[in-house]
Amino acid sequence: MSIPLNWYLILAAALFSIGLFGVLSRKNAIAILLGVELMLNAVNINLVAFWRYLDPVKMAGQVFAIIVFAVAAAEVAVGLALIISVYRRRRTVVADEIDLMKW
Amino acid sequence: MNFLNDPINFIAGWMHGLLTGWGLPDGLTTVIIYFIGITVLIIFAMTLDIFLVWVERKVVARFQDRLGPNRIGPFGLIQPFADIIKLIIKEDITPAGADKLLYNLGPVLAIASVIILWAILPLSSKIFGVDLNVAVLYLVAAGALGTLSIIVGGWASNNKYALLGAFRMVANMISYEIPMVVALLIPTILADTMSVQGITQAQSGMWFAILSPLALIIFLISAIAELGRSPFDLNEAESEIVAGFHIEYTGMKFGLFYAGELLHAFTFGGFIAVLFFGGYGGFFGLEKIGFFSWLNNPFVQAVVFLAKALFGYWVIMWIKYSMPRIRIDHMLAFNWKFLTPLALVVLVNTAILSKVLAGLPNWGYVLGMFFSNIVIGFITVEILRAYGRKQRKAEAKLSPQSTQKQEQAA
Amino acid sequence: MTADKIIFLLCAVLILASALMVVTTRKLIHAALWLVAALFGVAILYAVLQASFLAVVQVVVYIGAIAILFIFAVMLTRREMLDKGVQTRSNWWLPALLGLLILAGLVFLILGQPAFGRTAAEMPAGVDTLRNLGTALVSPDAFVLPFEVASVLLLAALVGAVYIASGKKE
C-alpha cells in the first residue's frame, strides 16, 4: 500500500465539492438529493481511509461508516417519499415552485 | 505441485516462468496471467451455458410428455448452435425513441451480473476464482446488479408494457432479497464463516441440508423468485404482459437475456449445492479412508460439484414446469407475510441452538437441529391450516348459497 | 507508479467523472445511472482499502436499494417522457465558485499537514476485520448502542416513508 493518505482525502474533498455544487445549483428536488448522496459518500471515503491508515485493528472507522450507510438510506427513503407526496398534490418537483407554507 | 493435484497454480507458475523468460516485468506478467485466468473462466461459463440451453429444452419436453429437439445431431445436441445462429442473423432493431446507450447496456449488465458470480463459485478446493471472505454477501450484491439491469432494459425500451414488467420484476426481486439474505445467514452461522470455501469445508461432517432443511426450502423459494422464473414469472409471462421488460429486444440481445437467465439458474443451483449439499466435498468423512483418497483430487471434486449443481438446476426446472403462475399481489403477500417471518424465526432458532447444543456429541447436535426445524415446520403448517380454515368459513358465509339460505330462513 | 497507484487513479477518474455527470446532465435518469457508476467506483475504493465487507455492503445498500429508489422516484414524478429545459439554475456560477473555493481550502489544509503524507502500515497478521467488525457492532463495551439506535432510526424511517407516500386522505 504505497498510496499516501492525502490522495484519498483530496479525492473525498473533490467529491464533496461536486456534491455541494449539485445541491446548490439544480432545480429538480430529486437532483438535489443526488448531490446529498455524493457528499455522504465523500464522508464515507474519508472515514474508511482514516480507519485503514491510522488503526486498522480498532473498528471505530468502519462502524461509523456503517452507521452513515444506515442514515443515508433512511434519509433517502423519507426524502423521496416526501417528494412523491408533494408531486401528487402540486404536480411539480421543481424546488423553487414549492414555496407556500400552506396550500 | 504437479498438474493433477493443483492445476491452477501449476499452469500459473509455468506461464509466469515463460513470460518472464521472454523479458516481461514481474507485475505485468501477473496482470496478464490474471486476465488469461478470467477469460478461461468466462469461456467455461458461457460454453456451459450453451449446454444448458439443450438441457432446458430436453427437460421441459420430458416434463410435458414429449421428446424435445431430436433432429439436429444425436439427441438434438447441435440444437443450441442452430439457436445461436438464428439469433445472430436476426435484424438488430432499436425501437424509435429508445435511449440507445441504455438500450444496449441492459443485456450486457444482465449477463455481467451472472458472470461475476462465477468468480466465487468453488469448483474444487484448488480450482476457484478468488476466495473472498465475504462471498455470501457478494452473492446478494450480484443480485442487486441484476435488478439494475432489468430497470435499465425496461425503461430504455420506451414501451409501457416493458416499464410495467420491469417495475413488477424489480418489486419482486427486491422483496425476495430479504428472506434470501436471512436464509444465507444460516449456513454462515453453522459454518462460522462467510467464505464459500469455509462453508464447504465445514460440511465435511454433515450437510447443512440435514442440519437445517427449512433454510434450504426458504433459500430455494427466494432464489427462484430472484431468478424471475416460474412460478414467480408474472413479469415476463407471454399470456399476461407480453414478455414484460424484454418485449422490444430481438436477436442476440434477447439471446443474452435468455442465456443469462439460464446461467443464473445454474449458478444458483451451484450455490444451493455449495451452501446446503456439501459443494465439492461433503462425503461424510469418506475421503479420509485411504482407499477413497482419490476423492480429494481437484478434478474429481469439480465433477462432483458440477453434478450437484446440475441437480440443483434440475430441481429449479422441476418447480418451474410443474406449478402454475402466482399473481403479483399474492407473490408479495407470500413474501412479506409468510416467508420473511418464517426465515427470521428459523434464524433465531439456529443461532440459539447452535450455541446451546455445542457441547453435545456430533449426532446429538445433528438430531437437535433437525428436530427443531421439523417442529418449526409443523407449527407453521398448523398455523396455515387454521388460517385457511378461517378463510374458508368466512367465504362460505358470504357465498350466494348461504345468503339464499338466510333469506329463506328469515 | 505501482499497481495500486494505477488502480487508485483509474478509480478516482471514474468517481469524479461520474460525479460531474451526475450534477450536470440534463436527463434525470442518466443522472441516477451516473450515480450508480460513482457508487461502484467508491465500492472499488473500499476494496482497495481492504474494507471488503464495506465494499459489498456499499453495492447491496447503495446500488441495490438507494439508487433503485432514485430511479423509481424519477420515473414516478415526470409528466412527459422527456426532460425539457435547462436543469440548473440561472446563477449556477455562484455554487461553482463556492465549490471551487471549498475544494481549494480543503486541499490547502490537507497538504499543510505533514502527518497526512504517510503511507499505510501493513495490516497486522491474523487480524480478521470481518470478525472484529461483527464483535464491535454487538459488544456492550464497543458500539452496540449506536447500532441499536440506527436500527430504530431505520424503523422510524420505514414507517414514516410508507405513511407519507401512501397518500391516504385525512
Q: What is the CATH number of the domain that holds C32?
A: 1.20.120.1200
**Residue C76 resides in a domain:** yes
Q: Under an 8 A CB cutoff, do B145 and C64 touch? A: yes
Query: Is C8 in the same domain as C76?
Result: yes
Position C51 pLDDT exceeds 80: yes
d(CA B365, CA B357): 6
pLDDT digits (tens, 9 = 90+) for B261-290: 899 999 999 999 999 998 887 777 676 676
Nearest to B139 by CA among B175, B183, B202: B183
The C-alpha of C117 sits at a distance from chain B's nearest C-alpha, in angstroms, of 25
B137 and C57 within 8 Å at the Cβ level: the answer is yes
Q: Who's near B345: CB < 8 A, 6+ residues apart?
A: B376
At B113, list the grid cell: 451480473
Q: Do chains A and C touch (3 or more CB pairs under 8 A)?
A: yes
What is the rounded CA–CA span in Å between residue B72 and residue B80? 10
For residue A94, the cross-strand partners are: A28
For residue A20, what pLDDT is reported? 94
Cell of C74: 424519477
| Residue reference for cell 407473490 | B331
**Distance, CA of C40 to CA of C34 (rounded, Å):** 10
ipTM of the complex: 0.90
Q: What are the residue ranges of helices labelled H in C25-128?
A: 28-48, 52-57, 67-76, 93-112
Per-residue pLDDT, averaged over C146-156, amounts to: 94
Chain B neighbors (3+ CB pairs < 8 Å): C
Assign B1 a pLDDT band (cuts: 50, 70, 90).
Answer: low
b/e code B246-257 from CB counts within 10 Å (16+ = b) = bbbbbebbbbbb
Which of C16, C89, C142 has the CB atom closest to A27's CB atom?
A: C89
Closest partner residue to B144 (CB to CB) among C29, C52, C64 is C64
> Residue B298 — pLDDT band, cuts 50, 70, 90?
confident
**Would you call A28 helix, strand, or coil by DSSP?**
strand
Residue C147 within any structural domain of the chain: yes
Could you tell me if residue C53 is inside a domain? yes
C4 and C66 together in one domain: yes
Q: Please judge whether A67 and C95 are an interchain contact, meaning their C-beta atoms are less than 8 angstroms apart.
A: no
User: Of A101 and C145, which is predicted with more confidence?
Assistant: C145
Residues 36-75 of C with CB under 8 A from A: 38-39, 42, 45-46, 49-51, 53-54, 57-58, 61-62, 65-66, 69-70, 73-74
Contacts of B137 in chain C (CB under 8 A): 53, 56-57, 60
Residues C72 and C139 in one domain: no
> Given C19, C51, C80, which residue is the final one in a domain?
C80
Q: Do chains C and B touch (3 or more CB pairs under 8 A)?
A: yes
Q: What is the rounded distance in angstroms from the CA atom of residue B42 to the CA atom of residue B36?
A: 10
Q: How far apart are CA C111 and CA C93, in angstroms?
A: 27
Shortest alpha-carbon distance between residue A55 and chain C (Å): 9
Structural domain includes residue C92: no
Mean pLDDT of chain A: 89
Domains assigned to chain A: 5-97 (1.10.287.3510)
pLDDT at C81: 45
Does the structure show a pLDDT above 80 at B182?
yes
pLDDT score recorded for residue B235: 65
Burial letters B68-99, b for 16+ CB under 10 A, else e: bbeeeeeebeebbeebeeebeeeeeebeeebb
Per-residue pLDDT band at A89 (split at 50, 70, 90): confident
For chain A, what percent of residues have pLDDT higher than 90?
57
Q: Which of B31, B34, B148 to mutate to test the interface with C (most CBs of C within 10 A)?
A: B148
Residues C8 and C72 grouped into a single domain:
yes
The reply to whether C104 falls in a domain is no
Please tell me which residue, A18 or B289, carries the higher pLDDT value.
Answer: A18
Contact (Cβ atoms closer than 8 angstroms) between residue B122 and residue B305:
yes
Q: What are the tens digits of pLDDT across the range B316-370?
A: 999 988 888 888 888 889 999 999 999 999 999 999 998 888 877 788 888 888 9
Cα dihedral A62, A68, A70, A73, rounded to 10, equals: -140
* Residue percentage of chain B with pLDDT more than 70: 95
pLDDT at B409 over 80: no
Contact B148 C65 (CB under 8 A): no
Question: What does the pLDDT look like over B55-86, one tens digit per residue?
Answer: 888 998 999 898 888 888 888 888 888 888 99
Residue B243 clears pLDDT 70, i.e. is over it = no
> What is d(CA B212, CA B390) in angstroms, rounded to the nearest whole number?
30
- Is C36 touching B (CB cutoff 8 A)? yes
Taking the C-alpha atoms of residue B167 and residue B235, their distance in angstroms, rounded to an integer, is 9
pLDDT score of C147: 92
When the pLDDT of each residue in chain B is averaged and rounded to a whole number, the result is 86
Residue C153 lies in a domain: yes
pTM of the model: 0.90
Range of the domain at C169: 130-170
Looking at the domain assignment, is residue C136 inside a domain? Answer: yes
Q: Is residue C94 part of a domain?
A: no
Number of structural domains found in chain C:
2
**Omega into A56 within 30° of 0, i.e. cis?**
no
At residue A55, what is the residue type?
D
Among A18-27, B22-31, B143-152, B217-226, the least confident range: B22-31
Instruction: Answer whether B138's CB lies under 8 Å from B132's CB.
Output: yes
Using one digit for the tens of pLDDT, what is the confidence trace for B4-13?
A: 777 788 888 8
Answer yes or no: is pLDDT of A103 > 50: yes
Facing B148 at nearest CB: one of C57, C63, C75: C63
Alpha helices by DSSP H, listed for B159-250, are: 160-191, 196-202, 208-211, 213-227, 238-241
**CB-based contact, A94 to chain C, within 8 Å:** no
Cβ-proximal residues to B151 (8 Å cutoff; 6+ apart), any chain: B166, B170, C68, C71
Residues C52/B132, Cβ–Cβ less than 8 Å? yes
For C:84-143, CB contacts with A below 8 A are 87-89, 92, 94-96, 98-100, 102-103, 106-107, 110-111, 113, 116-124, 127, 129, 132-133, 136-137, 142-143
d(CA B127, nearest CA chain C) in Å: 22
Cell of B331: 407473490
Query: What is the model's pLDDT at position B20?
Result: 82
Burial of residue B231 (CB within 10 Å: 0-12, 13-18, 19+) is: middle
In a 3-state reduction of DSSP, which class is residue C82? coil
Mean pLDDT along residues C93-113: 92
Which of A1-5, A92-96, B404-408 is least confident? B404-408
Residues A7-32: what's their mean pLDDT? Answer: 92
For the ranges A38-47, B73-82, B207-216, B395-404, which has the lowest average pLDDT? B395-404
Contact flag C63-B144 (C-beta cutoff 8 Å) = yes
Q: Which of B141, A20, A40, A93 is nearest to C73 (CA)?
A: A93
